[in-house]
């Protein structure tokens, strides 16, 4: 069974890894497939995936965060595999960046320099920014966790130029009413809810001209079936529960702190 190869620890010491939940899309696959990163470093990235890859395989892909980071085109080589989830993390692949052959090497280099403190932060803008997240979830425990994460982030030093707000809905019907009354920068939605489920809500959003470009992250426990339904409905990213709440919020915080503004503001 292929696992992380022995040099992965040395690689992590040489290139400190930053937790980053970024969308991954492949340009050389026949599948309608999106995965996501778990972390990123100056040397490469770990991609959480259930797809089959081989050691030494070269892959072309983009990394992005819906609404905050435009797609960056990357070329990389698969350096190690994790075939089964364990205490170290989920199944996936360790990919080494091939910077010289990556079309988005300039944008990728800028992102990496910001992440690792090698670049001066952007000048503080006079006008404050606002990022409003709509959480559509019938589980009150999940909503409480999410709200706590937003509040904690909002009070951190160095992030006070951005106001983070959260709107909550128990189901798709309530969410639809909010979407038609307030500016929303990101929708985080469960698939399985009463009254109106997440799949129907996504379809409504994508069919409405003024709302169709809002980034949508699905967080659900539907497995492969739920994943395919979410992607077919044109969600941007599908995440299996339990929700990677801390990682997602830290990614939003990091991108906004280094100067990325919501595209649908």
The domains found in the chain, sorted by start residue, are 8-115 (2.40.10.220), 129-257 (3.40.50.2300)
pTM confidence score? 0.76
Per the rule left: phi > 0, alpha: psi between -120 and 50, beta: everything else, 63 is beta
DSSP symbol at 89? B
Q: Which of 2-16, 83-97, 139-153, 250-264 has the lowest mean pLDDT?
A: 2-16
- How far apart are alpha carbons 233 and 230 in whole angstroms? 5
Q: DSSP of 144-194, one letter per residue?
A: HHHHHHHHHHHTSTT-TTEEEEEEEESSHHHHHHHHTTS--SEEEE-S--S
- Is the preceding omega at residue 78 within 30 degrees of 0, hence cis? no
What is the band of 242 on the pLDDT scale with cuts at 50, 70, 90?
low
- How far apart are alpha carbons 160 and 121 in whole angstroms? 14
DSSP symbol at 69? E
Higher pLDDT pick, 122 / 249: 249
For position 107, what pLDDT does the model report? 92
Strand partners, 63: 24, 72
């Amino acid at each position: 069974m292929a696992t992380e190869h022995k040099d992965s620890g040395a690689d992590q010491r040489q290139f400190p890894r930053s937790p980053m939940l970024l969308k991954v899309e492949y340009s050389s696959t026949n599948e309608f497939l999106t995965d996501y990163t778990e972390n990123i470093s100056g040397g490469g990235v770990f991609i959480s995936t259930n797809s089959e890859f081989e050691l030494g395989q070269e892959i072309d892909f983009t990394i992005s965060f819906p609404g905050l980071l435009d797609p960056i085109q990357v070329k990389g080589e698969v350096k190690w595999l994790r075939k089964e989830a364990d205490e170290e993390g989920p199944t996936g692949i360790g990919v080494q960046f091939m910077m010289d052959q990556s079309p988005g090497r300039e944008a990728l280099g800028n992102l990496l320099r910001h992440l690792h403190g090698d670049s001066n932060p952007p000048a503080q803008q006079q006008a404050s920014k606002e990022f409003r997240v709509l959480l559509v979830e019938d589980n009150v425990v999940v909503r409480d966790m999410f709200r706590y994460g937003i509040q904690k982030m909002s009070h951190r030093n160095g992030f006070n130029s951005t106001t983070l707000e959260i709107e909550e809905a128990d189901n798709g019907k309530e969410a639809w009413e909010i979407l038609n009354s307030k500016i929303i920068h990101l929708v985080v939605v469960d698939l399985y809810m009463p009254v109106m489920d997440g799949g129907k809500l996504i379809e409504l959003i994508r069919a409405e001209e003024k709302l169709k470009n809002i980034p949508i992250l699905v967080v659900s426990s539907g497995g492969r079936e739920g994943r395919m339904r979410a992607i077919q409905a044109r969600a941007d990213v599908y995440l299996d529960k339990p929700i990677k709440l801390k990682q997602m919020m830290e990614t939003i915080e990091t991108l906004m702190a280094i100067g990325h503004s919501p595209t649908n503001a």
